[in-house]
């Protein structure tokens, strides 16, 4: 298993990030949110990932950088959950959305739950999207 986060896996394209915000889909597991969009079929990586922590909740850059490091680390250690279960390439943006300072263990647990929720949403059969629950 490859527990790396190489440069080619990082989401840096301003165009792609703009597309994520304009027509991307979202999945949340408090306090984390994942915005995703299917990437082009000729993408060199299965996942391009970026992180963001709001200045609204953490005024000091030191605090924002700490949580960005934690988010990248939890992604790096758990990305095998995504890579093993998706067929299409995706661009994803990972957000920390609370002013609560959670521990690394809590964030790691929430990341795993968020990835499982993402996989359920991405891999659900096409027929289930058209059905409504009564």
Is residue 124's pLDDT more than 60?
Answer: yes
Confirm whether 132 is domain-assigned.
no
CB neighbours (10 Å) of residue 85? Answer: 14
CATH of the domain at 55: 3.30.230.10
Predicted pLDDT of residue 128 = 47
Q: Which residues pair with 49 in a beta bridge?
A: 10, 92
Total domains in the chain come to 1
Confirm whether 45 is domain-assigned.
yes
Confirm whether 90 is domain-assigned.
yes
Confirm whether 125 is domain-assigned.
no
Is residue 133's pLDDT more than 70?
Answer: no
Average pLDDT (90-100) is 93
pLDDT tens for each residue of 63-73: 999 999 999 99
Confirm whether 3 is domain-assigned.
no
E strand or H helix that includes residue 108: helix 104-122
Residue range(s) defining the domain that contains residue 86: 14-120
């Amino acid at each position: 298993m490859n527990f790396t986060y190489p440069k080619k896996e990082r989401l840096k394209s301003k165009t792609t990030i703009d597309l994520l915000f304009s027509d991307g889909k979202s999945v949340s597991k408090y306090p984390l949110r994942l915005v995703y969009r299917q990437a082009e079929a000729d993408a060199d990586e299965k996942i391009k990932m970026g992180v963001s922590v709001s200045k609204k909740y953490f005024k000091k850059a030191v605090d924002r950088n700490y949580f960005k490091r934690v988010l990248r680390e939890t992604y790096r250690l758990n990305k095998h959950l995504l890579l093993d279960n998706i067929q299409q390439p995706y661009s994803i943006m990972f957000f920390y959305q609370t002013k609560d300072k959670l521990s690394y263990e809590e964030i790691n647990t929430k990341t795993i739950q968020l990835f499982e929720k993402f996989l359920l949403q991405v891999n659900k059969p096409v027929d289930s999207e058209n059905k409504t629950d009564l």
